Chains A and B, each alone.
Chain A
Amino acid sequence: MGNSVGIVRAERASFDEPLAFRSGAVLPRYELVYETYGKLNSDRSNAILICHALSGHHHVAGVYADAPKSLGWWDNMVGPGKPIDTDKFFVVGMNNLGGCHGSTGPSSIDPETGKPYGSRFPVITVEDWVESQARLADYLGIGRFAAVIGGSLGGMQALQWSLAYPDRVRHVLAIASAPRLTAQNIAFNDVARNAILTDPDFHGGDYYQHGVVPTRGLRLARMLGHITYLSDDAMADKFGRELKSGQYNYGYEVEFQIESYLRYQGDKFAGLFDANTYLLMTKALDYFDPANGGDLNSAFAKARADFLVISFTTDWRFSPQRSREIVRPLLHNGRRVSYAEIASAHGHDSFLMEHPHYFDVVRAYLDNVNQEVSA
């Protein structure tokens, strides 16, 4: 599968020009952390932007010199000789605004108050992210991306790129995504948010000053999310009805292996992630609708990019049907589009996992993109 990009380093860019959010709020200045892999070619035409999903960040591939286990979250996909080939492309990963991995977010210090933004950090949308990503592109001297690629919430950003900056992106790869969330999907997000909002340690979002973290809420939110990212079959295969101690204890302690797994995942996540960022990310998901409740066919009339849309058969959080809702308006508008439905057992998480056919599809598509931009 080729090697890793090896040792990487996060970079930081500061922006002083205020960013007006869709909500009306204005962020006077902010910082974005990012990483790059591969080399930008002489005509600056081989750049690929990777947009991350709910819990992702700028560390897409490679490892940090001082932390050998810090493998990037999409290292199987991005690297020399890999489907997103860093021998051919200049790949940019960034941490979205509002995140908790270095870019300005609710846990960052607000220079005006000297305290963390907390509840004062504005609610952010996919449109706002794309705006900030375009500014990072300007900063890096990238006029037009060869491709913008994202899975899930990242796919929404990739789609938004084709609408907000039709002339700045040649190809969009939207993987396990949706043009807008359904009621069921919003409902899951709302339960997750409620878990956080009702945690007594939440303090209206300003828990930093109280020296506490709404761990219980964040943990529950992640446990719920995690269930929806896996398929019924994958869970059954991995855990079945297996018991930790081999017998029923007739109590409410952890008995089934799946309970133990979910709590472990919840604890791990709650220790690393910021609850306010989780709230922001889920809201961005809910709000995204390029048609504003209207017709997607007209919304996508602006797009000029070519598209590759990919879904996974067992993904029920962002089902193949949702991906077809992306494909249809593209067909309507005569865009060049290909659509692959990958048979995978791993539900929504499939988009992060190594799968020969999935990788072949991405590789074949990007090989052509590479020929196009190096022609």
Chain B
Amino acid sequence: MSDRPDFAAIAAWIPEGASVLDLGCGDGSLLRYLKDTRSVRGYGVEISDRDIVSCIANNVNVIQNDLDAGLADFEDGSFDFVILSQTLQAIRHTEPLMQEMLRVGREGIVSFPNFGYWKNRMQVLMGNMPVSSELPFQWYNTPNVHLCTLNDFEEFCRTYCISVTARSVMTAGHEVGFLPNLFGSTAVYRFQRGI
């Protein structure tokens, strides 16, 4: 099992043997998890040198690339799923990358920390930027440049004609149904190109 709560939610949407591109794949643990649980074929994309070595050691295919430079190495419709797990908030050019995900993949999946989670709101209310296990950075050293809430993300999708087909919101690994934008700490979305 994985120690990342969004892994299971992502895996639940992925059929056996699917092809997957994992953007910002870190040490390759999601791909490894999907390979073990869903026998996916796939590649990770990662920029960090250390993570490249970890992916290779994990026997996960990885392509070293800066996501903000786009996905030029990948062909249209070449993957069943393109996944952006806990990376959306650190992307500079959000909209172009979301479009690239849907160019390269038939479906997209993103997961991100919900900035609207009540504990984050509390910290802001108390006068500080939120720091938590999901946002483990200080304001001056965070790689996160585009934090958002569930509402923000859904509005973004409507604006750019991206149609959300499923959503899973959770806190500490448990699904949150009631007021998810307030009580959910992590959001996972499945989407495709809108009509």
Q: Tell whether A and B belong to one assembly.
A: yes
Question: Which A residues have a C-beta under 8 Å from some C-beta of B?
Answer: 308, 324, 327-328, 331-332, 334, 336-343, 357, 360-361, 364-365, 367-368
Most buried by B among A337, A338, A341, A360: A338
A368 (CB) vs chain B CBs: closest residue: B59
Does B49 lie within 8 Å of A338, measured CB to CB?
A: no
Interface footprint category on B: 10 to 19
Does B57 lie within 8 Å of A340, measured CB to CB?
A: no
- In the complex, how many angstroms separate the beta carbon of B194 from the nearest chain A beta carbon? 27
C-alpha gap A337/B43 in the complex (Å)? 8
C-alpha gap A119/B184 in the complex (Å)? 77
Given A327-B73, A331-B75, A339-B65, 18 other A-B residues pairs in contact with their CB atoms under 8 A: A308-B56, A324-B73, A331-B63, A331-B73, A331-B78, A332-B75, A336-B61, A337-B43, A337-B61, A338-B55, A338-B62, A339-B63, A342-B49, A357-B53, A364-B57, A365-B56, A368-B56, A368-B57
Q: Is B106 part of the contact surface with A, judged by Cβ < 8 Å?
A: no
Question: With A338-B62, A339-B62 in contact, is A331–B53 under 8 Å at CB?
Answer: no
Question: With A364-B53, A368-B56 in contact, is A340–B75 under 8 Å at CB?
Answer: no
C-alpha gap A361/B62 in the complex (Å)? 11
C-alpha gap A115/B140 in the complex (Å)? 74
C-alpha gap A324/B57 in the complex (Å)? 21
Which of A308, A334, A341, A342 interacts with B41 by CB under 8 Å? A334
Does A360 lie within 8 Å of B61, measured CB to CB?
A: no
Enumerate chain B residues within 8 angstroms of A337, measured Cβ to Cβ: 43, 61, 63
A366 (CB) vs chain B CBs: closest residue: B56
Does A328 lie within 8 Å of B73, measured CB to CB?
A: yes
24 A-B pairs, CB-CB below 8 angstroms? A324-B73, A327-B63, A327-B73, A328-B73, A331-B74, A331-B75, A332-B75, A334-B41, A337-B43, A338-B56, A338-B62, A339-B62, A340-B64, A341-B64, A342-B49, A343-B49, A357-B53, A361-B56, A364-B53, A364-B56, A364-B57, A365-B56, A368-B56, A368-B57
B59 (CB) vs chain A CBs: closest residue: A368
- In the complex, how many angstroms separate the beta carbon of A205 from the nearest chain B beta carbon? 43
Question: Which B residues have a C-beta under 8 Å from some C-beta of A?
Answer: 19, 41, 43, 49, 52-53, 55-57, 59, 61-65, 73-75, 78
Enumerate chain B residues within 8 angstroms of A328, measured Cβ to Cβ: 73
C-alpha gap A368/B62 in the complex (Å)? 14
- In the complex, how many angstroms separate the beta carbon of A199 from the nearest chain B beta carbon? 43
Enumerate chain B residues within 8 angstroms of A338, measured Cβ to Cβ: 52, 55-56, 61-63
Does B53 lie within 8 Å of A361, measured CB to CB?
A: yes
Enumerate chain A residues within 8 angstroms of B63, measured Cβ to Cβ: 327, 331, 337-339
C-alpha gap A365/B15 in the complex (Å)? 28
Does B59 lie within 8 Å of A340, measured CB to CB?
A: no
- In the complex, how many angstroms separate the beta carbon of A329 from the nearest chain B beta carbon? 10
C-alpha gap A349/B41 in the complex (Å)? 35
C-alpha gap A15/B62 in the complex (Å)? 41
C-alpha gap A22/B78 in the complex (Å)? 36
Enumerate chain A residues within 8 angstroms of B52, measured Cβ to Cβ: 338, 340, 361
- In the complex, how many angstroms separate the beta carbon of B66 from the nearest chain A beta carbon? 10
Does B57 lie within 8 Å of A367, measured CB to CB?
A: yes
C-alpha gap A332/B78 in the complex (Å)? 8
B45 (CB) vs chain A CBs: closest residue: A339
- In the complex, how many angstroms separate the beta carbon of A362 from the nearest chain B beta carbon? 9
- In the complex, how many angstroms separate the beta carbon of B132 from the nearest chain A beta carbon? 32
Enumerate chain B residues within 8 angstroms of A327, measured Cβ to Cβ: 63, 73
